[in-house]
């Protein structure tokens, strides 16, 4: 079992509310229990090791992928629901209760993020933290303090192990 | 009684008496009024263009992504504003973020305006207040100034009231930051837009003053090429390095070198916009710039640490705070030439040059503050000639020897603290491992991506000077860093606008892509080249300035040509234009104003709202600030957005903490009035943001094409723009964009080669009715195409009003 909660060192101060460190098993449970989860995946997923894990996460749960950056290229011929959207635009729409989601079927209740530039997604998560009621879960390699829950800072190989464990528990 | 005019007069009855009247208060505005062309908002205050701001902000809503959950502005606090809570003064998180953004904008605007005031004081002193403004072939010498203030400056002296206005507005805006002032986010936003507009006025003052007085190219498409790159500097010569943005003092150094036959003997190099302006100085009659450009801010620490500079001269803006310490460690004297940066050094402005040289040569002083330009002109070249042989004999550098390099790479314990601290989380640990095994390639790749901020060194538990390690490993690639940049040409001329304006408004030139800003790139410098090349090949006009203009010139095609050598410099489709340094960014907004004035014959004088409305609806221009890091970049971008020009930032731009993003799914937000009859008309949801960010250079490509679509595109124009949008999305994302159908008004908007297939998709996937015999769309589009429609956001500009 991988411990993904040990290193939660922050390199920039973001204030009073920081992400609760989460283990892969708990993260899997949160995803499985969510009614309308949205899997927000960015360009780093084009790394083969990550893509191999992102696809089963989406596939096993059937959840919608918001393919940000250029990540959509990784999902083109895969059995997943993926749609390109710009991450900053997504942040804006997620703050609008009138938005009907990428599939037109309504808003989301859990946002899961993977394969992002740390400094970029942390800003997006800050917007969601401060201006929405959404629960956000980071299963990325870095501790993202603006998420509701997050893996800690992990070495690349540990991160892959953690994702495998998460997939096994979905 | 005869009218009093500005100028010098003698009175016949009085011997040896000359009366000089500098300026008549309000004379320029009165002249414009007399000529019947003054618009409704000359010299607008904070409230005067608010209606326009609120219209923009209704369509493009602020999106806040705070960096900190707290406010610590006053002693009531610290207040926790998490979750949009209110603090002790009553301000909530949204308003506080808007306030912070306003502060960034006016900080940037103040930097430019302060620069402008410094330059103007100096140039009036040296050239006289009645020195004519000459920016090339144009009847609108200062489009931004004229549009905002109503003033049509003819002389340097005419720029003084313009700066008075800028300074007053900045003071009023700064006052609203204080606790207990504004409480509504939307009005902080309006104020930020005001600050951005004011910034372009200040920048225009700076650049047209220096173009007019310092012999800089005047709207010259053939401005000369200058050498750029760390590899271009001849380190065997004495190297004099100038850093900053205000070239005024450096021109004295260049003159002294010229007069004393030192130009060939000293390697004069520059960093940042001072470097750009050094290559513009005295180039209006042609020639080859003798100054060389090292590069952008990202090269600052790297170049100092190389030990190559023998003397450093700094002026203002984007100069590292630790230049003096870094230089002192390598026995490089630093001369501060501007009160903005003084580094605690003694003021030697009134001292003898020989004494200053002696103190710096002997090491008694690490540097000197010298504000007298005549002295700077003599001091820097003489000092570098004397100190260079001493420094070079000692071989002073911060870079490790081969042996030390090995030792350092082996010392790394791979704790990843450096990577966590790195703003880009660069893979330093793996590069250390590879280097220890003799493979320098990973470090060579990092060299281009690393902005040399030095945060990694602060965190390393083993005290490894990581920047030095990266640079030592990259000596081979550094030697090859040789490029060319076209010296800044200044404004776009009236004849060019006459030729190209119609194509821009009708869309047959697909758009203007303005690439500006700093060097905080997400993935190195090559992205700029790739973006520019892609858009140039597609006949967009690519306009560049500042650090972007520099870094763009670092790459070459298969024939060894940079983009500046490959593409012409006129304001025509498929051309690449370098307007100049930071303050030359005003020429980009000025160009869109000129399109309104020259092509559409709109009155621009004191008429900002109408011109912004025109640009928003008709001029397909989009800005990219790919590596924006500074407050100045925030104000430049915000000035563009008030004029309706959308701006895309690289991912680091999210740290500005505020974007303006529209909701394409909300159809109520995407309509305007037809000025012919006041009826509402639907418009396409593009641009769908005014300021936003993207993840990487591939993602930006289709967004650029989409952002250039405008309601007034004719069928040919829309077809061209849509073709690029679809092609770029397919090329870089691998998919058709899912909103392409929203831009179709008639079948003739469809890309010709794919018309049949796209009609099929419209029928099957979107339920549109198609007449297949005539290949016509019968129903489906939400917008009508009417070539005569006159889109406007203002009811008052409609005929029925």
Contact B210, B119 (CB under 8 A): yes
Kindly identify which residue of chain A lies nearest to residue B692, measuring between CA atoms. Answer: A88
Tell me how far apart the alpha carbons of residues A98 and B666 are, in angstroms, rounded to a whole number.
9
pLDDT at site B7: 61
Tell me how far apart the alpha carbons of residues B648 and B636 are, in angstroms, rounded to a whole number.
12
Q: Do A130 and B66 touch (CB under 8 A)?
A: yes
B257 belongs to a structural domain: yes
pLDDT at position B30 over 80: no
B354 belongs to a structural domain: yes
Confidence category of residue A10, pLDDT binned at 50, 70, 90: confident
- Tokens 């990973």 sit on residue: B442
Q: Give the CATH number of the domain where residue B368 resides.
A: 3.40.50.2030
- Provide the residue range defining the domain that includes A46: 20-168
Of B396 and B19, more confident: B396
Sheet order of strands, B239-243 included: B367-369, B334-336, B311-314, B239-243, B267-271, B292-295, B225-228, B483-486
Q: How far is A170 from chain B, CA to nearest CA, in Å?
A: 29
User: Smallest Cα–Cα separation from B496: which of B376, B423, B598, B576?
Assistant: B598
What are A119's two structure tokens? Answer: 């400094």
Q: What is the dihedral of CA B492, B498, B500, B502, to 10 degrees?
A: 140
pLDDT at position B23 over 70: no
Contact B611, B147 (CB under 8 A): yes
* Strand-strand pairing, B292-295 and B367-369: unpaired
pLDDT at site B595: 94
Confidence category of residue B34, pLDDT binned at 50, 70, 90: low
Mean residue pLDDT across chain B: 95
Mean pLDDT of B23-28: 62
Tell me how far apart the alpha carbons of residues A74 and A72 are, in angstroms, rounded to a whole number.
5
Instruction: Select the residue of A43, A98, A129 nearest B695 (Cβ to Cβ).
Output: A43
Q: Give the CATH number of the domain where residue A136 resides.
A: 3.40.50.1220
Summarised one tens digit per residue, pLDDT across range A146-167 is 999 999 999 999 999 999 999 9
Confidence category of residue B2, pLDDT binned at 50, 70, 90: low
Mean residue pLDDT across chain A: 95
Confidence category of residue A15, pLDDT binned at 50, 70, 90: confident
Q: How far is B662 from chain A, CA to nearest CA, in Å?
A: 8
Summarised one tens digit per residue, pLDDT across range B661-692 is 999 999 999 999 999 999 999 999 999 999 99
**A chain contacts of residue B661, beta-carbon cutoff 8 Å:** 88-89, 92
pLDDT at site B771: 97
pLDDT at site B767: 97
Contact B8, B22 (CB under 8 A): no
Residues written for chain A: 170
Tell me how far apart the alpha carbons of residues B673 and A72 are, in angstroms, rounded to a whole number.
38
Please report, rounded to a whole number, the percentage of residues in chain B having pLDDT higher than 90.
Answer: 92
Q: Do A9 and B654 touch (CB under 8 A)?
A: no
**A chain contacts of residue B732, beta-carbon cutoff 8 Å:** 70
Contact B170, B106 (CB under 8 A): yes
Mean pLDDT of A57-70: 97
Tell me how far apart the alpha carbons of residues B148 and B163 are, in angstroms, rounded to a whole number.
12
Q: How far is A8 from chain B, CA to nearest CA, in Å?
A: 11
B707, containing H or E segment = helix B697-707
Neighbours of A156 (CB within 10 A): 14
Q: Do A12 and B651 touch (CB under 8 A)?
A: no
Summarised one tens digit per residue, pLDDT across range B351-387 is 999 999 999 999 999 999 999 999 999 999 999 999 9
| Burial (Cβ within 10 Å: 0-12, 13-18, ≥19) of residue B647 | buried
B389 belongs to a structural domain: yes
pLDDT at site B144: 98
| Burial (Cβ within 10 Å: 0-12, 13-18, ≥19) of residue B438 | exposed
Please report, rounded to a whole number, the percentage of residues in chain B having pLDDT higher than 70.
Answer: 95
**A chain contacts of residue B657, beta-carbon cutoff 8 Å:** 123
pLDDT at site A7: 86
- Tokens 């800089």 sit on residue: B216
Instruction: Select the residue of A16, A89, A123 nearest B82 (Cβ to Cβ).
Output: A16
Tell me how far apart the alpha carbons of residues B80 and B76 are, in angstroms, rounded to a whole number.
11
Q: Do B420 and A16 touch (CB under 8 A)?
A: no
A39 belongs to a structural domain: yes
B295 belongs to a structural domain: no
Summarised one tens digit per residue, pLDDT across range B93-127 is 999 999 999 999 999 999 999 999 999 999 999 99
φ/ψ bin of B498: left (φ > 0), alpha (ψ from -120 to 50), beta (otherwise): alpha
| ipTM reported for the complex surpasses 0.95 | yes
- Tokens 């190219």 sit on residue: B217
pLDDT at site A8: 85
Neighbours of A59 (CB within 10 A): 16
Specify the number of domains making up chain A. Answer: 1
- Tokens 């911060």 sit on residue: B398
Residue partners of B729: CB distance under 8 A and separation at least 6: B701, B702, B735, B736, B737
DSSP B640-679: HHHTT--EEE-GGGGGG-EEEE--TT-GGGSEEEETTT--
DSSP chain A: ----SS----SS---S--PEE--HHHHHHHHHH-SSEEEEE-GGGGSHHHHHHHHHHHHHHTPEEEE-TTGGGGGTTSSS-EEE--HHHHHHHHT-TT---TTSS---SEEEEES--HHHHHHHHHHHHHH---EEEE-SSS--TTSSEE-----HHHHHHHHHHHHHT-
Helix (H/G/I), strand (E/B), else coil: B118: helix
Q: Do B66 and A120 touch (CB under 8 A)?
A: no
Degrees to nearest 5, angle at CA B16 with B10 and B20: 40
pLDDT at site B77: 86
Interface mutation target, options B695, B706, B707, B728, chain A, most CBs of A under 10 Å: B695
Tell me how far apart the alpha carbons of residues A71 and B733 are, in angstroms, rounded to a whole number.
8
- Provide the residue range defining the domain that includes B324: 237-242+252-272+300-394
Least confident of A68-77, A88-97, B737-746, B780-789: B780-789
CA distances from B557 to B94, B255, B282, B562, B694 (A): 47, 36, 30, 6, 26
A74 belongs to a structural domain: yes
B264 belongs to a structural domain: yes
Specify the number of domains making up chain B. Answer: 1
How remote is the C-alpha of B469 from its chain's centroid?
32
Summarised one tens digit per residue, pLDDT across range B151-205 is 999 999 999 999 999 999 999 999 999 999 999 999 999 999 999 999 999 999 9
Mean pLDDT of B341-349: 98
B374 belongs to a structural domain: yes
Mean pLDDT of B197-214: 98
B439 belongs to a structural domain: no
Contact B368, B382 (CB under 8 A): no
| Greatest C-alpha distance within chain A | 43
**A chain contacts of residue B427, beta-carbon cutoff 8 Å:** none
Confidence category of residue A125, pLDDT binned at 50, 70, 90: very high
Tell me how far apart the alpha carbons of residues B358 and B531 are, in angstroms, rounded to a whole number.
50
B404, containing H or E segment = helix B402-411
Kindly identify which residue of chain A lies nearest to residue B69, measuring between CA atoms. Answer: A15
How remote is the C-alpha of B44 from its chain's centroid?
24
pLDDT at site A25: 98
Confidence category of residue B504, pLDDT binned at 50, 70, 90: confident
Cα torsion angle, B359, B365, B366, B372, sign: negative
pLDDT at site B6: 62
Helix (H/G/I), strand (E/B), else coil: B732: helix
**A chain contacts of residue B652, beta-carbon cutoff 8 Å:** 119-120
Q: Do B699 and A43 touch (CB under 8 A)?
A: yes
**A chain contacts of residue B416, beta-carbon cutoff 8 Å:** 153, 155
| Greatest C-alpha distance within chain B | 92
Question: Which residues from A are below 8 Å from B when comparing CB atoms?
Answer: 9, 11-17, 42-43, 68-70, 72-73, 76, 83-84, 86-89, 91-93, 95-96, 98-100, 116-120, 123-124, 126-127, 129-131, 142, 153, 155
Mean pLDDT of A114-142: 97
Mean pLDDT of B712-719: 93
Helix (H/G/I), strand (E/B), else coil: B748: helix
Q: How far is A93 from chain B, CA to nearest CA, in Å?
A: 7
Q: Do B67 and A95 touch (CB under 8 A)?
A: no
What are B496's two structure tokens? Answer: 């060019």
Q: What is the CA radius of gyration of chain B?
A: 27
Interface mutation target, options A44, A99, A131, A143, chain B, most CBs of B under 10 Å: A131
pLDDT at position B1 over 60: no
Tell me how far apart the alpha carbons of residues A17 and A11 are, in angstroms, rounded to a whole number.
15
Confidence category of residue B502, pLDDT binned at 50, 70, 90: confident
Beta strand residue intervals within B134-238, DSSP E: 225-228
B486: preceding bond cis by omega (within 30 degrees): no
User: Smallest Cα–Cα separation from B470: which of B503, B443, B493, B509?
Assistant: B443
Contact B188, B634 (CB under 8 A): no
Summarised one tens digit per residue, pLDDT across range B544-601 is 999 999 999 999 999 999 999 999 999 999 999 999 999 999 999 999 999 999 989 9
pLDDT at site A9: 81
Tell me how far apart the alpha carbons of residues B182 and B96 are, in angstroms, rounded to a whole number.
10
Residue partners of B593: CB distance under 8 A and separation at least 6: B140, B143, B144, B147, B604, B611, B615, B643
User: Smallest Cα–Cα separation from B140: which of B457, B422, B498?
Assistant: B498
Tell me how far apart the alpha carbons of residues B780 and B726 are, in angstroms, rounded to a whole number.
20
* Strand-strand pairing, B18-21 and B7-10: antiparallel
A12 belongs to a structural domain: no
A36 belongs to a structural domain: yes
Buried b (16+ CB within 10 A) or exposed e, B586-624: bbbbbbbbbbbbbbeebbbbbbbbbbbbbbbbbbbbbbb
């Amino acid at each position: 079992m991988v411990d993904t909660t040990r290193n939660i060192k922050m390199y920039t101060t973001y204030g009073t509310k920081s992400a609760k460190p989460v283990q892969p098993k708990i993260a899997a449970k949160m995803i499985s229990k969510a009614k309308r989860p949205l899997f927000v995946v960015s360009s780093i997923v084009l790394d083969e090791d990550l893509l191999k894990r992102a696809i089963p996460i989406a596939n096993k749960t059937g959840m919608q992928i918001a393919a940000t950056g250029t990540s959509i290229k990784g999902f083109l011929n895969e059995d997943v629901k993926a749609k390109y959207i710009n991450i900053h635009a997504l942040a804006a729409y997620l703050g609008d209760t009138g938005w009907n989601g990428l599939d037109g079927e309504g808003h989301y209740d859990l946002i899961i993020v993977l394969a992002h530039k740390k400094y970029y997604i942390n800003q997006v998560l800050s917007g969601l933290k401060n201006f929405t009621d959404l629960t956000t879960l980071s299963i990325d390699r870095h501790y993202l303090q603006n998420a509701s829950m997050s893996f800690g800072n992990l070495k690349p190989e540990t991160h892959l192990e953690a994702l495998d464990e998460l997939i096994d528990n979905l | 009684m005869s009218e009093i005019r500005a100028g010098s007069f003698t009175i016949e009855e009085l011997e040896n008496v000359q009366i000089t009247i500098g300026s008549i208060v309000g004379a320029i505005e009165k002249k414009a009024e007399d000529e019947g062309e003054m618009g409704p908002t000359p010299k607008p205050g904070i409230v005067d263009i608010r209606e326009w701001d609120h219209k923009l902000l209704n369509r493009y809503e602020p999106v806040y992504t705070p960096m900190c959950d707290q406010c610590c502005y006053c002693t009531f606090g610290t207040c926790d504003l998490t979750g949009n809570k209110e603090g002790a003064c009553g301000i909530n998180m949204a308003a506080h973020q808007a306030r912070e953004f306003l502060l960034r904008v006016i900080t940037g605007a103040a930097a430019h305006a302060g620069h402008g005031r410094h330059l103007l004081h100096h140039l009036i002193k040296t050239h006289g207040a009645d020195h004519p403004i000459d920016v090339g072939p144009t009847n609108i010498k200062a489009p931004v100034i004229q549009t905002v203030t109503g003033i049509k400056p003819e002389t340097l002296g005419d720029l003084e009231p313009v700066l008075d206005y800028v300074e007053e507005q900045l003071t009023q805006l700064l006052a609203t930051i204080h606790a207990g002032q504004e409480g509504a986010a939307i009005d902080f936003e309006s104020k930020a837009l005001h600050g951005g507009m004011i910034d372009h006025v200040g920048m225009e003052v700076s650049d047209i003053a220096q173009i007019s007085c310092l012999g800089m190219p005047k709207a010259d498409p053939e401005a000369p090429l200058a050498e750029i790159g760390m590899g271009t500097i001849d380190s065997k010569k004495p190297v004099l390095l100038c850093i900053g943005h205000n070239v005024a003092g450096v021109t004295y150094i260049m003159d002294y070198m010229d007069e004393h036959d030192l130009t060939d003997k000293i390697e004069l190099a520059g960093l940042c916009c001072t470097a750009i302006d050094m290559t513009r100085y005295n180039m209006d009659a042609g020639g080859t710039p003798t100054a060389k450009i090292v590069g952008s801010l990202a090269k600052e620490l790297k170049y100092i640490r190389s030990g190559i500079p023998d003397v450093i001269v700094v002026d203002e803006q984007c100069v590292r705070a630790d230049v003096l310490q870094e230089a002192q460690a390598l026995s490089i004297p630093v001369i501060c030439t501007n009160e903005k940066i003084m580094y605690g050094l003694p003021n030697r402005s009134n001292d003898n040059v020989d004494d200053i040289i002696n103190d710096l040569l002997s090491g008694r002083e690490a540097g000197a503050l010298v504000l007298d330009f005549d002295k700077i002109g003599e001091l820097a070249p003489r000092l570098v000639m004397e100190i260079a042989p001493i420094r070079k004999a000692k071989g002073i550098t911060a870079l490790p020897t081969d042996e030390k390099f090995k030792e350092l790479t082996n010392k790394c314990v791979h704790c990843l603290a450096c990577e966590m601290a790195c703003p880009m989380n660069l893979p330093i640990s793996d590069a250390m491992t590879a280097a220890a095994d003799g493979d320098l390639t990973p470090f060579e790749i990092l060299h281009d991506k690393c902005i040399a901020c030095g945060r990694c060194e602060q965190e390393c538990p083993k005290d490894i000077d990581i920047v030095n390690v990266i640079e030592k490993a990259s000596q081979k690639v550094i030697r090859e860093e040789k490029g060319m940049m076209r010296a800044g040409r200044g404004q776009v001329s009236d004849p060019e606008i006459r030729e190209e304006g119609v194509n821009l408004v009708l869309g047959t030139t697909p758009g203007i892509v303005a690439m500006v800003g700093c060097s905080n790139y997400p993935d190195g410098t090559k992205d700029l080249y790739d973006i520019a090349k892609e858009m140039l090949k597609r006949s967009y006009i690519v306009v560049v300035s500042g650090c972007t203009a520099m870094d763009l010139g670092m790459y070459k095609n298969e024939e060894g040509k940079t983009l500046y050598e490959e593409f012409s410099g006129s304001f025509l489709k498929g051309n690449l234009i370098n307007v100049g340094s930071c303050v030359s960014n005003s020429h980009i907004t000025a160009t869109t104003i000129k399109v309104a004035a020259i092509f559409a014959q709109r009155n621009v004088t004191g008429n900002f709202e109408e011109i912004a409305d025109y640009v928003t609806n008709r001029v397909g221009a989009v800005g990219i600030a790919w590596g924006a890091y500074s407050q100045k970049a925030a104000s430049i971008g915000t000035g563009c957005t008030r004029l309706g020009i959308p701006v895309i930032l690289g991912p680091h731009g999210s740290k500005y903490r505020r974007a303006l993003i529209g909701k394409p799914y909300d159809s109520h937000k995407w309509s305007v009035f037809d000025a012919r009859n006041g009826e509402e008309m639907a418009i396409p949801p593009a641009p769908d943001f005014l300021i936003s960010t993207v993840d990487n250079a591939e993602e930006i490509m289709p967004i650029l094409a989409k952002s250039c679509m405008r309601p007034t595109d004719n069928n040919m124009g829309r077809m061209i723009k849509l073709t690029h949008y679809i092609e770029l999305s397919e090329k870089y994302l691998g998919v058709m964009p899912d909103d392409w159908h929203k831009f179709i008004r008639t079948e003739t908007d469809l890309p010709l080669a794919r018309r049949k297939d796209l009609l099929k998709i419209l029928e099957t996937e979107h339920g549109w009715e198609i007449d297949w015999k005539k290949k016509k769309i019968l129903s489906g589009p939400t917008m009508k195409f009417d070539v005569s429609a006159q889109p406007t956001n203002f009811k008052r500009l409609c005929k029925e009003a």
